[in-house]
Amino acid sequence: MIEAKSVNQNGHVTTVQLPDDPSDSDLIKALGGGDNCVSLAQVGDWEVLRVSGQTNPTLVVGAAPPMSAETKRRKTCPLADSKIIALVRFLDDWL
Q: What is the pLDDT of residues 67-77, one digit of tens each?
A: 777 777 888 99
The angle subtended at Cα 56 by Cα 78 and Cα 24, nearest 5°, is: 70
Quick one: what percent of the chain has pLDDT higher than 90?
44
- Between 54 and 62, residue with greater pLDDT: 62
Under the phi-then-psi rule, with left for phi > 0, alpha for psi from -120 to 50, and beta for the rest, what region is 21? beta
Q: Which residues contact 55 (CB under 8 A, 6 or more apart)?
A: 9, 92
pLDDT in tens, 36-54: 899 999 988 999 999 888 7
